[in-house]
Structure 1
Amino acid sequence: MKKILTLFAVVGLMAFTSCEGPEGPPGQDGSIPAEVYEVSNVNFTNTNNYNPVIALSPAILPSDMVLVYRLSGVDNGRDVWKLLPENYYLADGTLDFGFDYDFTISDVSIYMIGNDLGGVVSSFRLNQVIRIVIVPGYLTGKSVNKPDYSNYNEVIKRYNINDNNIKKIKL
Structure 2
Amino acid sequence: MKKLVFILFIITASVLVSCEGPMGPMGPEGPAGGEIIGTTFEFTDNFTAANGYEVVFNFRDNGFDPYESDVILTYMLWQTESGLDYWRPLPQSVYFNSGAILVYNFDFTADIPNDRIVDMAVFLDGDVDFSTLSSDYTRNQTFRVVVVPSDFLSKANVDVSDLNSILNSPEIQMKSLGKIDLNTSIDTSLEIK
Residue 170 in structure 1 maps to residue 181 in structure 2: yes
Of 128-137 and 152-161, the range deviating more from structure 2: 152-161
Shift in Å, 1:75 = 2.1
Q: What is the CA-CA distance between 1:5 and the residue it aligns to?
A: 4.8
Aligned to 2:94: 88
Give % identity. 29
**Once the two structures are superposed, what CA deviation does each residue of 1:29-80 show, in whole Å capped at 9, x if it has no partner?**
776511101112x111111111110122422212211110111111221111
Distance 1:96 1:34, change over 3 A: same
Aligned to 1:65: 71
State whether structure 2 residue 58 is matched by structure 1 residue 55.
yes
4+ residue stretches of structure 1 with deviation over 6 A? 27-30
CA distance in 1, matches of 2:10, 2:131: 74
CA distance in 1, matches of 2:21, 2:173: 38
Q: TM-score, normalised by structure 2?
A: 0.70
- Paired residues of 2:37 and 2:174 also in contact (CA < 8 A): no
User: Out of 98, 117, 123, which is 2:103 matched to?
Assistant: 98
The corresponding residue for 1:137 is 150
Structure 1 position 125 matched with structure 2 position 131: no
Name the SS for the 1:70 alignment partner: strand
Distance 2:136 2:29 in 1: 40
Aligned residues: 164
Contact 1:58–1:106 (CA under 8 A) maintained in structure 2? no
Q: Distance in 2 between matches of 1:141 and 1:6?
A: 42
The one of 131, 138, 147 aligned to 2:158 = 147
The structure with the largest alpha-carbon Rg is 2
Is residue 97–residue 120 contact of structure 1 (8 Å, CA) maintained in 2? no
Indicate the residue corresponding to 1:18 in structure 2: 21
